[in-house]
Structure 1
Amino acid sequence: MPEVMFAGPDGRLEGRYHHAGKPGAPVALVLHPHPLHGGTMNNRVTHALFERYKAMGFSTLRFNFRGVGRSQGRYDGGIGEISDAASALDFLQAVNPGASMLWVAGYSFGAYVGMQLLMRRPEMGGFVSISAPASHYDFGFLAPCPCSGLILHGADDELVPEPSVKKLVDKLNTQKGVKIDYRVMAGAGHVYTPEQTVQVANAAEDHVMSILNRSRMALAAD
């Protein structure tokens, strides 16, 4: 798992990158939780998602937002972090020019940044949002949401009440051509136990593989 440093808008950003090697392999960018609350690219859920995308044959990148680990700069309230994610996607696309599909996955604050990135990069093919902080940030920017994806939330989330996420999902599902796969994990809070983290990764794999298989079937039918 090579360490990488790539140019960000406010200095160099530190990441871990896995190259799939297969021509045309899909790519995935994985985003970590809030930098001011201990979030790093080594977060349990972030790491699990990275490993699962890797196992599915993706070229995959996770990285530290500005001011975290060896990434330069300082926390910028979410605005600069969205630019960091765009730079990370630029890096991914530069080393995977023939990628068949682009995905973004994020946990908590990373889910918010990932969905902001969707609106800036219309070439995105799918997303995975874990514990999206719908009660803390305005997700009204998803109008219209550019693609379908998975939103997973803990039923007992003490920081982001599940009904606030359900409201967001219902709103997105009214949009033409968008289908949100919404899954609520019984007994889970905002921080997932090791056992629950495996369930999160399993759900992400189930969703992603269903989309990839559908895409492959469509190509075979042409």
Structure 2
Amino acid sequence: MNVHTQKFLLDGPVGKIEVACDLPDGLREHGSAPRGIALVAHPHPLFGGTMDNKVAQTLARTLVQLNYVTYRSNFRGVGATEGEHDNGLGERDDLRAVLDHMRAQPGLASLPLVLAGFSFGTFVLSHVAARWLEEGQALERMVLVGTAASRWEVAAVPQNTLVIHGETDETVPLQSVYDWARPQELPVVVIPGAEHFLHRKLHVLKRIIVDAWH
């Protein structure tokens, strides 16, 4: 993603998990305190999804700009992450292992937490967040892009979740996201003319997130 990305392997439930961590400029150069920590979940691994997917990278880059220490990890069977695709079930345990690692780092344990996902990653992350909140853990915010509501059972999310979707998404029709969001009374931010992977619209995605934080 950039020259400041640190990659490492973490012990997970079924083997190693490949993780990338990006540090905000202030923390890296001056040791100033970050605003919080963030975890980004990538799209479907059986369709080429990795933590280096452009939407996942944009989410990570934007959160770093907002001064969050930001982690991404590859799902099972992707890159150097061991194990086999588990339809979003084992992947929840893997993301939780990454979360626990993040919380164990010096100075990060009590910082606000943001969870951000794209496509399949929104499905996995929604269930990780639900369990996290059931345990009484704090969550500052979620950012869901291309929420995979037409393909998987995406769990209910907190009221301040930022839901962003492409108007012409052919993979996950916008209507299915409305149907998922309606019972929760969740607003949906629609990017006009954008399809699922937000080609040529990533700058708009970034702007929506930054604006939501100000």
8 A contact 1:24–1:99 mirrored in 2: no
**Which residue is 2:151 aligned to?**
136
Q: State which of 184, 196, 201 in structure 2 corresponds to 1:196.
A: 201
Name the residue aligned to 2:83. Answer: 73
**Gaps (5+ residues) in structure 2?**
none
Name the CA distance, whole Å, in 1 between partners of 2:108 and 2:69.
11
1:88-133 alpha-carbon deviations (Å, 9 max, x no partner): 1111111144443101000000111111111011222210000011
Residue 49 in 1 paired to residue 59 in 2?
A: yes
1:220 corresponds in structure 2 to: none
TM-score normalized by the length of structure 2: 0.87
Q: In the alignment, is residue 82 of structure 1 matched against residue 92 of structure 2?
A: yes
Aligned residue among 26, 32, 40 for 1:30: 40
Alignment of 1:4-43 (within 5 A): 4-20=8-24, 21=27, 22-23=32-33, 25-43=35-53
Following superposition, the deviation at residue 170 of structure 1 comes to 1.5
Gaps of 5+ in 1: 174-179, 211-222
For residues 102 and 13 of structure 1, what CA distance do their matches in structure 2 show? 20
Q: Quick check: 2:142–2:160 contact (8 Å CA) kept in 1?
A: yes
Q: What percent of counterpart residues are identical?
A: 31
Equivalent residue, structure 2, for 1:101: 112
Q: Label 1:24 to 1:191 Cα distance change in 2 as closer, same or farther (>3 A).
A: closer
Larger deviation, residues 87-96 vs 55-64 = 87-96
1:115-163 CA-partner distances (Å, limit 9, x unpaired) = 1111011222210000011111123x42xx3452110111111121111
User: The residue matched to 1:134 in structure 2 has which SS?
Assistant: coil
Distance in 2 (CA, whole Å) between partners of 1:7 and 1:198 is: 35
The alignment partner of 2:176 has SS state of helix
- Kept in 2, the 8 Å contact 1:105–1:127? The answer is yes
Q: 2:68 aligns with which of 58, 69, 88?
A: 58
Q: Deviations over 1:64-86 (max 9, x none)?
A: 11110011111111101111111
Displacement of 1:181 in angstroms is 4.1
User: Quick one: which amino acid aligns to residue 166 of structure 1?
Assistant: Y
**Distance of 1:107 and 1:40 partners within structure 2:** 11
CA contact 2:164–2:190 (8 Å) conserved in 1: yes
| Cα deviations by residue, 1:43-84 (Å, 9 ceiling, x for unpaired) | 001011111111111011011111100111111111011111
- Letter of the structure 1 residue corresponding to residue 193 of structure 2: G
Aligned letter for 1:138? E
Per the alignment, in what secondary structure is the counterpart of residue 188 of structure 2? strand
* Number of aligned residues: 199
Deviates more, 1:157-166 or 1:13-22: 13-22
Aligned-partner Cα distance in 1 for 2:187–2:14: 35
